Structure 1
Amino acid sequence: MTFKKFYRVSALFLLIYLLPSVLFSDDIKEADKLYRQLDYKYALEIYDKIMKTNPSMDVAQKIANCYRFINNAEAAEIWYKKTLSYPDASADNYKYLADALKQNGKFDEAAINYTTWGQKTPAQAKEAEKQANICGVAKIWAENPDIGAFVESEIGLNSENSDFSPAKFGSKILFISDRWQKNKKGQEVYGWTGNPYLKIYSATPSSKQVDILKGSINKGFHSGPVAVYPSLDTLIFTRSVLASNKKAKLGEVGKQYLLIAVKKGDEWIEKDKLPFNSGGTFSVQHPALSPDGKLLYFASDMPGGFGGMDLYYSEKLANGSWSQPVNCGNQINTPQDDVFPTVRNDGKFYFASKGHIGMGGLDIFSAIGSRNSFKDIENLRAPLNSPKDDFGVLFNDDNKTGYLSSNRNGGVGLDDIYRFATGVKAEPKSQEKIYAVNGAVVEKGTNQPIAGLEILLLNKDKGTQSTVISDANGKFAFTLDKETDYVVKGNPQQYFTSQTGEISTKGINQSTIYDIKFELERAKGVFTVKLNNIFYDFNKWNIRPDAVGDLNKVNAFMLNMPNVKMELVAHTDARGKAAYNQMLSEKRANSAMDYLLNKGVAADRLTAIGKGETELLNQCADGVKCTEAQHQLNRRTEFKIVKVIPVMALVKNDKQQMN
């Protein structure tokens, strides 16, 4: 479940009057219309029929996108792979495929696709490398869950649809669901999911009795999540509405507001909107109150944030109103979505995020602090988090047990509510702390694993050295001693770059695995990069038209290899005086360098060198009769890689403490 997917609202009369006809149509125009209106559930049914009779990349792409939007990662993985089978598919599909693979727990395959995305989209190379490294972290967390915690489905609360975001209400809990209501006919259906609109329900965890809240709080479109006043007589809740502009197009999505509801008898009556987005130009949602009810946290995409949805806070004033919201700061907020805040009874802050290092979709994080001052952001890891979406956490009074929301595998419906416990006494798997290196070596540019490379591990404290050979997948591993400093490096005799990673286990009090990735250039066959020499006319140094294509290839190579420095070495034939030929070769080298500089290659990456007639490629020295073609072979500029700045990603991954 993503925080937005249930809040997109389509026009009701579209569903009532048009749906029966479009469901059985194979008209691409109808499917595209539904797609634009965010009615992905119904667009999928038509696209699927079209794909069977008239397959195309465009339709495959839209099917993949639909499954991504409705958060079906398994189907999204299948359809992004089908989309990428078309040669003209956009490179962004590698990123979307990687996201789906990660949510499906296929971390190694996800890392490969993030890397491919970065290679095909140079502007995203750093982000792609980061995401690929995070996959390694997620894999370790998934394979080493906290043995002192457990998570189990709260079956009595869950339906075949979505159930999420529990909030404590005295001895009961309130939660949000788009379940089908028993004995109610004509429920309004949301075209994004094909399920009813979200409503607020009440339940007693010890029983299976679930009731929808009565009153105007559940009128209209989506309602919830909620925050509960300590007095239990007032709620703040999210309400989704259609666009109010009369000129709005059919199906145009409205925004989310925060409203007050008060209890009158056994009903909840909708009251005033909070004034945070009175203009309706952005959304505010996911309210949460501090234990004393004086601080309100919520998520919003209002202008001035860090990107995506950010978390904000507002303070309750003496007259009962709420102050202007303030961003919670960049320790909490990221360029992606940060949503579903919760404040535990002891004041500890929790939220869900896609921007911090996580296991897949939304992960639950804890933080110390309040307002816009936070520190110690920590992923709750497995089993509380999973590769899927995990969000909407609620702690009981003991601060060790509670409920969370997740669409992880094995649930009853789409999103389910799970009960959890932490700090459970368990027999540790091992009393011995584990320190190790898990590494991989790949070839820079191709990202192909390098097998048979000797990796050296130097124990700096003892002065000893260990070696291993990378396997067929480029993988290698070392075990480490506690309280020791190490250096890890590839054998510099085998590869052009010599990369080094320094590791220390000193002061590390829990089992730790270090992930190292070496990206290396081969020392042998430097010119296998296919940088062709360029040639000149006799006694000339200008760039000939037949050299432009090769120089452009050199330019492309330099753009794709930002760590490379290069020498441009120019030569002449043997005719003429040696001093003149030396000057001519320098002009030729500078002419080639100027061409690349004008293309945008940085000056500090290029060196122009003239060698005159000192390095002939054939026998055509002074006094030797040769053809013009033989002399031409010596009039050239060569491109020589002289330095590759090391590129290494070193990620320290802490396992769950094992004792």
Structure 2
Amino acid sequence: MLRCYAILLCTALLLPVMLFSQERKSVRTMADEAFERQEYAVAGALYNRIINKKRNKTPLDVLQRVARCCREIGLYEEAAFWYDKMQSRPECPAVTFLEYGEVLKSAGKYEDAKVQLAKFKSSKSDSMRLMHSMLAGCDSAIAWKSDRLEMAMENIKELSSPGSDYVSGVTRQGLLLVSNGYRKMTMNVLPERNPAIDTRTNQPYYKAYIFKQYSQGVANTFVEEVLPQLLALVPYHVGPVCFNPREDTVYVTLNSWQQDIANRKKRGPVNGERIMMVFWSVKTGDDWSPLQPLKEINSTGYSTGHVALSRDGQIMYFASNRKGGQGKMDIWFSEKQRNGKWGKPKNCGPYINTPFDEAFPTYNETDMLYFSSKGHPGMGGFDIFRVAGKGTEWKRLQNLRFPFNSGGDDLGFIMKANMYEGYFSSNRSGGGGSDDVYRFMDTHFSERFNNDEGIQPYKDPEPGTKPEPVILAKAPEEKPAETKREEPVVVSPMVPVSAPITTPSVAAKEPEKAPEKPVETKPEEPVVVSPMVPVSAPIAPPVVAAATPATPVEVAKNDPPPASTPRRGGPVAPPVATPAPVESAQEKQEEAMSDIDVAIQDKMEKMQFYYDYNSAILTTKSRNLLDRVAVVLNQYPDWKLMVRSYTDSRGSDAYNKDLSALRCYAVIDYLVKKGVPSSKLYYENIGKDPDDPCNKGVPCSEAQYMQSRRTMLKIIHK
């Protein structure tokens, strides 16, 4: 919670306050003052001192506050411990069960969370709506985790500091980041020894950075500050930075430091709150104009920030808690006028916004907005959503589901221009302790979600009825017309990256033994050990859309031909005389493959691409070979390619499955950049080579290990 509000830059104003006889204040007084200042780490330590002294006689409100401190900092297990203590008290307030369920959900304990949420009762409709929404989110999360999407995913450890690091946008030069952890690290400049500290989090203030590897493709990580000539001397938080399409105008979210202080108090340890505001600057030649508040967008006394522009730069989306919204932080928009100024802000409406927090808008595709929400049913914390439309007209709200979303806070979703590689941020369990940057690759991300009808409209249950489990978004593979098969498409398990609709995930320990009915097979071990570990693509049979059937050559005889599959739902025609079958042009082509075609296929399938230990980076020799592969695939439009990657016998099975997935995508990414359509590419991340003699305890040389660390190709004919 606190982490996200710190990201939103709603920072408490800590001005010097003359306090008499401070040394005589009780521990309780100091704890309460720190709590009011939102210094939750300090307050939590002081409240613990009270609890250690009073033990079973600790006042309930102290337990409530120490649980709140843990929850705001992100210590969900500790918060759950204190909520469990509270619920045994006869005077325990009802809201405890709601908050207890929330922290259990954030920790990914969905069944336990449902038990606590069901105990919550309230006469307030918003509170009951939140409770039912969280219950629906728990039901959905359980289903989504069992039917996870297939892709390669990794935590970018080089970009993950001990602090909070999150994705905010993109430019032609690279990926835009916001971090409070890089200031103590050596980047392109020397680290700051004593950076200014935000006392709420005991971390440095945020600054904006750019990750140059995003566009340059260099092997080393290169991060630098954004516009230090403008932002280096800002005294508080520097939040998300957004450039217009020409990159000659910049919009920056900053804490106000000279004016516009909200929630002022005449007396007490806290006398206001620095709200966040949007500032802007225009580039003339090589110089940027001084930062100025964007008057048309900011609202006096309310926070405004995190700007995202549409592709044409004519619509600005941003987050604000101003009046006229649905409640708390909402997504708003403004349209550019003919005179170049921004029009009056308008709320995006109840289809996007809820009585709870919506924030972190990003824009990746035309008329497609991404944002994070706590109000729409999700897996916990902020979930990432995708919605089609613009302004106030929206449709098809989609929760990106697992593994994009988790029990923690997930935000800042950015796609690269190739539309199959992207980034987002998360503080999910198993990460570096706060928000980390994750990278994913999914060659058919757009098709997958364009075929997804979106989450079902949520409705509160009728009074007096027992709510049934609600799955708000079925996985696309659950559509009967797409998934009903009498037998698997392939004998050996393979994972297609080109199928827009996937089957439920099936993890198999032994790739060479595929189950007859993979949808009914239970994985023997979880695909994701922890979100810190790159997410591998579980071995599952490819599902090929009817419009683009593709069956591997070596198993075609085990699968009925596409023509034998009856169309569903159509009228049944009366029997007529059937003429002799006529061979299609494609069938004739397959039967009449020339000797040259056979030789080319044979040569491609004998190619091997090797890697250094623990690496997924293609060597120069491999790239040269792939240049030739790309030429062939572009000359043979009916050929598809299966990319199979292996690792050597060292390391855990789970890690090697992830590493082999990244090696598959290294090849796929290179071929796509050479003009090969991604729809022609499949992959199979095998992990350890089952035929590697080193797996059986035989001593091996480094050259033998190198032979195992490889990628191979297989041509697939229609």
Equivalent position SS for 1:49: helix
* 1:229 counterpart residue number: 244
Partners in 2 of 1:378 and 1:63 — Cα distance?
36
CA 1:103–1:325 in 2, change beyond 3 Å: closer, same or farther?
same
* 2:61 counterpart residue number: 58
Output the amino acid matched with 2:31: A
CA 1:50–1:289 in 2, change beyond 3 Å: closer, same or farther?
same
Partners in 2 of 1:382 and 1:481 — Cα distance?
19
* 2:484 counterpart residue number: none
Partners in 2 of 1:300 and 1:179 — Cα distance?
26
Partners in 1 of 2:314 and 2:94 — Cα distance?
47
Partners in 1 of 2:128 and 2:260 — Cα distance?
41
Partners in 1 of 2:479 and 2:390 — Cα distance?
40
Partners in 2 of 1:224 and 1:232 — Cα distance?
18
Alignment match of 2:10 (pick from 8, 11, 17):
8
CA 1:153–1:86 in 2, change beyond 3 Å: closer, same or farther?
same
Deviations 1:60-110 (A, max 9, x none): 111111122223322222222222233222110110110111111111111
Q: CA deviation at 1:311?
A: 0.8
Is 2:230 the partner of 1:216? yes
Partners in 2 of 1:296 and 1:446 — Cα distance?
43
Partners in 2 of 1:374 and 1:278 — Cα distance?
24
Going by fraction, where is strand more abundant, 1 or 2? 1
Alignment match of 2:207 (pick from 199, 218, 222):
199
Output the amino acid matched with 1:328: C
Partners in 2 of 1:264 and 1:89 — Cα distance?
62
Q: CA deviation at 1:281?
A: 1.6
Equivalent position SS for 2:118: helix
Alignment match of 1:80 (pick from 83, 87, 92):
83
Alignment match of 1:103 (pick from 98, 102, 106):
106
* 2:46 counterpart residue number: 46
Give unpaired runs (5+ residues) of structure 2.
Answer: 185-190, 446-463, 468-477, 482-500, 506-518, 520-718
* 2:197 counterpart residue number: 189
* 1:133 counterpart residue number: 136
Tell me whether 302-311 or 53-62 shows the greater mean CA deviation. Answer: 53-62
Deviations 1:552-589 (A, max 9, x none): xxxxxxxxxxxxxxxxxxxxxxxxxxxxxxxxxxxxxx
* 2:333 counterpart residue number: 313
Partners in 2 of 1:292 and 1:178 — Cα distance?
31
Identity of aligned residues (%): 31
8 Å contact from structure 2 (residues 239, 306) kept in 1: yes
Equivalent position SS for 1:152: strand
Partners in 2 of 1:131 and 1:371 — Cα distance?
28
Q: CA deviation at 1:222?
A: 1.1
* 1:118 counterpart residue number: 121
CA 1:138–1:181 in 2, change beyond 3 Å: closer, same or farther?
same
Is 2:400 the partner of 1:360? no
Q: CA deviation at 1:267?
A: 8.0
Deviations 1:525-573 (A, max 9, x none): xxxxxxxxxxxxxxxxxxxxxxxxxxxxxxxxxxxxxxxxxxxxxxxxx
Output the amino acid matched with 1:163: D
Q: CA deviation at 1:419?
A: 0.8
Partners in 1 of 2:198 and 2:163 — Cα distance?
12
Equivalent position SS for 1:356: coil
Deviations 1:372-406 (A, max 9, x none): 11100011111111111111111100122111011
8 Å contact from structure 1 (residues 255, 280) kept in 2: no
8 Å contact from structure 1 (residues 308, 335) kept in 2: yes
Is 2:71 the partner of 1:68? yes
Going by fraction, where is helix more abundant, 1 or 2? 2
Equivalent position SS for 2:5: coil
Partners in 2 of 1:25 and 1:263 — Cα distance?
53
Partners in 2 of 1:319 and 1:481 — Cα distance?
50
Find the structure with the greater CA-based Rg: 1
Q: CA deviation at 1:263?
A: 5.1
CA 1:259–1:393 in 2, change beyond 3 Å: closer, same or farther?
same
Partners in 2 of 1:409 and 1:266 — Cα distance?
44
CA 1:268–1:393 in 2, change beyond 3 Å: closer, same or farther?
farther
Equivalent position SS for 1:314: strand
Output the amino acid matched with 1:61: Q
Deviations 1:196-224 (A, max 9, x none): 11111122234322222312324121111
Output the amino acid matched with 2:34: L
CA 1:265–1:412 in 2, change beyond 3 Å: closer, same or farther?
farther
8 Å contact from structure 1 (residues 295, 313) kept in 2: yes
The alignment's TM-score, normalised by the length of structure 1, stands at 0.60
Output the amino acid matched with 1:5: A
Deviations 1:486-538 (A, max 9, x none): xxxxxxxxxxxxxxxxxxxxxx998799xxxxxxxxxxxxxxxxxxxxxxxxx
Equivalent position SS for 1:175: strand
* Pairs within 5 Å for 1:140-159: 140-147=143-150, 149-159=151-161
Output the amino acid matched with 2:47: Y
Output the amino acid matched with 2:183: Q
Deviations 1:244-276 (A, max 9, x none): 458666452121111113458988664221124
The alignment's TM-score, normalised by the length of structure 2, stands at 0.56
Alignment match of 1:404 (pick from 403, 424, 435):
424
Output the amino acid matched with 1:209: F
Partners in 2 of 1:445 and 1:378 — Cα distance?
28
* Pairs within 5 Å for 1:394-473: 394-423=414-443
8 Å contact from structure 1 (residues 366, 378) kept in 2: yes
Output the amino acid matched with 2:208: I
Output the amino acid matched with 1:162: S
CA 1:423–1:251 in 2, change beyond 3 Å: closer, same or farther?
farther
CA 1:130–1:244 in 2, change beyond 3 Å: closer, same or farther?
closer
* 1:27 counterpart residue number: 27
* 1:36 counterpart residue number: 36
* 1:628 counterpart residue number: none
Output the amino acid matched with 2:225: I
When the two structures are aligned, how many residues end up with a matched partner?
A: 437
Partners in 1 of 2:265 and 2:376 — Cα distance?
39
8 Å contact from structure 1 (residues 286, 340) kept in 2: yes
CA 1:119–1:281 in 2, change beyond 3 Å: closer, same or farther?
closer
Partners in 2 of 1:277 and 1:123 — Cα distance?
28
Partners in 1 of 2:287 and 2:271 — Cα distance?
31
* Pairs within 5 Å for 1:427-576: none
Equivalent position SS for 1:358: coil
